[in-house]
Amino acid sequence: MQIIAHRDHYRQSDGFVQFSAVQKKSAAVLLLSVILLGLVGVLVVYMFVRLHVKEKLTKSCFGVEDKLLPRRMYRPSKFEY
C-alpha cells in the first residue's frame, strides 16, 4: 500500500507519474550506455570488414588447430586452405 501511496503523490493531473531526478538520471545513463555499446559494436564490425581481419583470423585459427590437433595419417582435413 505504501508504494501505491508513493506513486499517487507523484501522479499528475493527466494520470502520468512524474519521474524523480534519480530515475531520470538512471534512464539517461542506461540510454547513453546502450547507444555507446551499439556504436562500439558497429565500429568493431566495420573494422573487422574493412581491415580484412576475417582472412587473417581464419588462417591463425587453422594454424592453432594444426599445432594443437595434428592431422591423422592418410586422412585429409575437413577444411583445406
Which segments of the chain have a pLDDT < 50?
none
The predicted pLDDT at position 29 comes to 96
By residue range, what is the domain housing residue 40?
A: 2-50
Q: Is residue 72 part of a domain?
A: no
pLDDT at residue 40 in the model: 97
- The reply to whether 73 falls in a domain is no
Residue 59 lies in a domain: no
Indicate the pTM of the whole model: 0.52
Report if residue 30 sits inside a domain.
Answer: yes
> In the prediction, which pLDDT does 3 show?
66
Report how many domains make up the chain. 1
| Assigned domain for 77 exists | no
Chain length of the chain: 81
Q: How far apart are CA 48 and CA 54, in angstroms?
A: 7
Task: Supply the pLDDT for residue 8.
Answer: 72
The pLDDT assigned to 38 comes to 97
Q: Nine-digit cell at 34?
A: 546502450
How far, in Å, are 5, 36, 52, 62 from residue 45 at the CA level?
Answer: 49, 14, 11, 22
